[in-house]
Structure 1
Amino acid sequence: MATPSVDITALTDDQRQALEQFAAVTDQPIESAVPLLQRCQWNVQVAVSRFFDGEPPDPVTEGPGAASVPPPRQTSRRQETLIDGASSFARSSSQNSDLEPAPRVVPQPESQVSQQAPVLLSLVLVPFNILYTAFSKVFGFLGHLFPFLPRLLARMTTRSASAANRRNTSGRRPLNPRDTAARFIREFEEEYGPNELPFQEMSYAQSYDKAKKELRFLLVVLLSPEHDDTASFVRETLLSPEVVQFLKNPQHNILLWGGNVQDAEAYQISAALKCTKLPFSGLIAHTPSVSSSAMSVVRRIPGPMAPDSYLSKLRTAISQNSEALDRVRAQRAEQQATRNLREEQNSAYERSLAQDRERTRQRREAEEARRRAEQEAKEKEEAKEREAQKLKKWKRWRAQFIAPEPSADVKGSVRISLRMPSGERVVRKFAPDAAIEDLYAFVECYDLLQGGDLSISEKAEEPSGFKHEYKFILVSPIPRQEYDVESGGFVKDRIGPSGNLIVERTELDDDEDEE
């Protein structure tokens, strides 16, 4: 009877992934792999173990009716490859299973350490807890009524505590982790003399984090002064020249941390590292095969040992884990290089963006300045045009009041010869009582008087809000004398019966200034 076909589309994603893994390891067809995985609850490791170890035939799928079906034929070469793959898979699994995670121990103060009582004892102590709570509330109420009771109780408690402290003088004074490490180094030098061991003067947690960040090996050495083998181990093994040089060599990337198990931190570390015999040495390293951030104990060296054996164990453990650490370092270096390149690209992009923004700002400011200049020029031109219109209107109004030239029979008339700015020579007579301002008004309105642009029938009005200023001055050439309009007076009194004057402009137009 042929094996029924398996509908792969009915399987879930996890089941398909398990089927692919099982087929990749065992090279079995899908028809025979699916029933085995179903019997193993789709557990790939259990299915692979049963496949290579051999399992009894299933009474349902491999009964008498299925006995006539021959098993799939496998070549000896393929069988050898599968066995080798399974053995290598087993070796890697066993190697990873031998690695135990190295905990990051942060010592807790003894005053904060609390132990949970057993459940049966907790049930027994429930009535006492209720009585204690009630007594505390009653005592608090009495302390509120009688304030001297809490002070009296505090004084008694202080005396009893000081007496207990005086009795307990055999223990070591607890310090913070950094000071504890410094005390260990100082006591080590006092006991065994000056040495070159590179002990880390920091807490275990800080050394742990440093080794994890820098991908270095952390060698933890735990000692006990009360142990008989401590002195011989330190003098003969730990302080031997070859061990000291090995630990100091920067190529080995070793961080050395030591502790006295009489201190709380070292005692907690010994319990966390499962120390069974003192003196103890444990080598901790990053193990990427376990996880991307795992720190594991790659080697334990319990008890005293000769320097050669001690170094051999350290070298073996370091050589076994150096390759993985080198790969992680290369990955981190590549990631850092990629990160640096990305930062440089981002920086270059930001600089280019800043330059573009600066150019845009400058272009916008230049456009704004040009528009503002055009607006100012336009406003200036409009103001000039308005000023010219008002001046023209003023000329028409002022020309109405200029007296005509006196006739020949008028005695005392003043004859004035004027040279205009255009170079034209104008000769005109003025009445003896003509004011100097009339002479200026004649010069100002000469173009209207000469061109006949005045309409006597239309009476012009003085422009409102316009203050006229003469932008020229009358000057006699020899000797030079200026006849300003502000001084006032009559023409005959200031100039005489006749005069030869030059009209000099005091203010020039923009075109004349540029020329």
Structure 2
Amino acid sequence: MQSDATLRQFVEITHLDVDQATQVLQSCNWDLETAVGLHLAGTEGDTDYGRGGRDTTTPSSGGGVGVSSPSGGAAGAGRPVPRAFGRGQEGGGGGGDDPEGDADGEGGDGQRRPLLRTDSVASTSSTSSLSRISSAVGLLGRAVLGVARTVAWVGSGILSFFSAVVLGPPGVPSESFDEFFEARYGRPRPDFFRGGLREALATARREEKVIFVYCHSDASAQTERFCRDVLKHDAVVALLNENFLVIGLDTSRLEGARTLSALRGRRCPFVALVMPPMGSSMEGSQTLHRLEGQIGVDQLVAVLTVAVGDMESLRHQVRVQSEETQRSRLLREEQDAEYLEALERDRQMQMARDNEEAERRAEEARKREAERERDRRRAEKEDKKRRLEESRAARSVEVRRILEEDDRRISSGESAAKILIRLPTGGRFERKFRADAPLSLLFDWIECRHLIEGGGGAWVAPGSFELKQTFPLRAFQKSESTLSELQLAPSSALLLHPLEAEDDAESEAAS
């Protein structure tokens, strides 16, 4: 039945229990749109639904405290009021249990009446006790009724969730709303977005468009006219398809009902222009315009035109912001590149300084090593010279003895050879040797001459040397050949050529 479908849709949208939903729909003659608007108005203002609504405690017309009846009147206007409401309160019967306090109390009709006194105190006490008991029972009943309504609301929510998730809600899903609209109303039509509202927000943000949200309800009497005369109008279709992202939502489905409630819509057809977050901003979307109920073509075209202008202004702001962001990014990149270049230059300079320092240290190390090598060679030379002097000193005694013996033999008439030695420094000295004396004696005499002949200024022979004859050109090394055999007798002039200096020069060149 149509009423069962309407009741099920109303329960899914409002989450009321079946009894409350039935009362509200009956009060609205089973008009779903009117019932939803009434429910939303009652939820926001916390007011009564009116006829057939929930019971609320309100002051009665007679001045007492009554409970509103289904017809809107006050039931029990003359009910005794508990003493907790205080003396002098307006109340039905006005009496109380104080025999002296309310002598001139007012009745339920507002007229002043004399206090009715009784002779029986027990009767007055019984009336007061019954009033207290009645009030307590009323409070307890209202508390139980509130708990029952809460349990019913939770149960209806669970039932609605189960039916929406497991069984699938009735109505047209947003993914196929374009097919539904074209099948029912034909073309031309807006190009409805195939997807949910969340996907539409993401797409609109990416394409920089305003979202045209249309909430559809077959229960509304205005829906047919709006779809055929307004949404299919050529001007409206051109504006929507060119400038907006259009999404259609059926309010009989959970997503449509929630969207209608979130956009504060009260009746269908309902239209809202929603601006998604733009640029780098992550703030929420913004609702620009809302239209509902009887919407005309001129009214909708005017709203859409204003929204297009707002969107162009927003796009300009977004482009300016994007350009500023791009400039800032490029500036940061340039600064970062300059910083990296400065770091690279500093690194290169530091490497150059490190290399120079390493070369300097290596050069100092080479110099120290060369100095140590020279010291070593100098020490070796000194040691060699010392050992040579010791050796010459030891030989000089024997050489002196041999030379003294040769002098005596030459004096006795043996043949002699007179040898002249020229020094590299230009000095000279000479001596007579026996003609049959070996050449080694001549070398020993030259080496030990400063020890044999003495004198602080005596010339000292180098460690190694050779003797050269200019004519004929010959060089002589230390040997046992006699002077006569070498044709140096009876006289010869020889040039002393040191060999130790050449050895030292070669060693220094090698180092």
Question: What band does the TM-score fall into relative to the shorter chain?
Answer: 0.3 to 0.5
Structure with the bigger RCO (C-alpha within 8 Å, sep 6+) is 1
TM-score (norm 2): 0.39
Point out the structure with max Rg over C-alpha: 2
